[in-house]
Amino acid sequence: MKYGSLIAAAAAAFASTASAAGVVGAAEGFAQGVTGGGNASPVYPTTTAELVSYLGDSQPRVIMLDRTFDFTGTEGTETTSGCAPWGTASQCQVAINLHSWCDNYEASAPKVTVTYDKAGILPITVNSNKSIVGVGSKGVIKGKGLRVVNGAKNVIIQNIAVTDINPKYVWGGDAITVDNSDLVWIDHVTTARIGRQHIVLGTDADNRVTISYSLIDGRSDYSATCNGHHYWGVYLDGNNDMVTLKGNYFYYLSGRMPKVQTNTLLHAVNNLFHNIQGHAFEIGTGGYVLAEGNVFQDVDTVVEAPMNGQLFSSPDTNTNAQCASVFGRSCQLNAFGNSGAMSGSDTSIISRFAGKNIATAHPPTNIAQWTMSNAGQGK
Ligand SMILES: *[C@@H]1O[C@H](CO)[C@@H](O)[C@H](O)[C@H]1NC(C)=O
């Protein structure tokens, strides 16, 4: 479907309704069945140290965030060398020479001095069997991200914002890292003003992951594309990763939205990609992408060339009917408003979903409006 604009003028936000402490709803798609901290009595950390302790201990926990946990300055700052691969204009990100990245990959880039906040570099470790849940719109982690790694399993991150992690600096820190894990659900999370990736799934097996109704807010004073649009969106690297992206709002980015590769099966369904000045999908070798029911509004390039992976873009109703053999229904068309094209008719991807939990899909009608009102923290 092609339209000029899929977004009406003003979206009335739904009034938020009060709810009991704990996780709301259940994961759809690959992470279906995740329980996090289960029925553990909720705990309410009051300091950054307490938050770190609850997230990293070995108890199943429901951790309620009812305030901002500001890690900025807690580990001091570092002034060191860096480089400016995209130039030194005020809107451009610069890179920290972390792991000699500038020396190894950007040797000809201008050298610069960088001063970054050290807390942003290493995220907070999240252990198995944890639910991290924000209260209303109060749960914020500022200046440091979260990482679910080293075999951590069964984690829910819901209704929080992760913000302000060295946005000027590439290698300044990621918001949410998942690597060598299983059953992770990221839901109604907002990420904003991040140095590197908003969400990154690393090179080890991450198994079953659902990212739903979250807002990746790419607006930033500094960008690798020097245009106010953050480049490093969502990076799904592989080795047996199965990722459901459903109902998310991807706003104002310029790249890797998402980047998918190396044995990663991605179901991208009912997401709104909006105002992407650059590219949305980058699909490398071993990226298997099925995209349906999404809305692309003002997206320059929907799929970056060359496309070295495999893509089923739900191209037309006849072909989409082939989904029924595995999904029990047809796949839904995507909708494009003032956006580039998405072509991919690799129906072999459908069978990769056999025996797995598959999210439901709506037609793209109304998805833009609904997503703007309902995705992200506090919604
Ligand atoms: C998480 O919970 C499961 C199921 O109760 C248990 O088998 C596992 O040992 C727990 N993991 C940790 C690290 O506590």
CB-based contact 105:139 (threshold 8 Å) = no
Active site residue: 193, 196, 256, 329, which one? 256
Domains and CATH numbers, the chain: 8-76+120-374 (2.160.20.10)
Pairwise CA distance, residues 245 & 371, whole Å: 13
Q: Quote the CA–CA distance of 94 and 195 in Å, as a whole number.
A: 10
Those residues with Cβ within 8 angstroms of residue 159's Cβ, 6 or more apart along the chain or in another chain: 24, 133, 134, 135, 139, 187, 188, 189, 377, 378
Q: Are strands 169-170 and 94-96 parallel, antiparallel or unpaired?
A: parallel
For ligand 1, atom 5: residue with the closest CA: 129
Q: Closest residue (by CA) to atom 11 of ligand 1?
A: 128
Quote the mean pLDDT of the chain. Answer: 95
Question: What is the whole-number distance in angstroms between the Cα of residue 129 and the centre of ligand 1?
Answer: 6
Tell the residue nearest (CA) to atom 2 of ligand 1.
129
* 34 alpha carbon – ligand 1 mean position (Å): 12
Annotated active-site residue 352? The verdict is no
**Per-residue pLDDT tens over the stretch 253-289:** 999 999 999 999 999 999 999 999 999 999 999 999 9
pLDDT score recorded for residue 9: 42
**Residue 45: its H or E element:** none
What is the tens place of the pLDDT at every residue in 184-236? 999 999 999 999 999 999 999 999 999 999 999 999 999 999 999 999 999 99
Q: What is the pLDDT of residue 238?
A: 83
Residues 149/170, Cβ–Cβ less than 8 Å? no
> Measuring from atom 9 of ligand 1, which residue has the nearest CA?
128
The answer for residues whose C-beta is within 8 angstroms of residue 10's C-beta and 6 or more apart is none
- 85: preceding bond cis by omega (within 30 degrees): no
Residues whose beta carbon lies within 6 Å of some atom of ligand 1: 58, 127-129, 154
Atom of ligand 1 nearest to the CA of 128: 13
| CA atoms of 269 and 293, how far apart (whole Å) | 5
- Residues 6 or more apart whose Cβ sits within 8 Å of residue 323: 292, 314, 329, 330, 331, 350
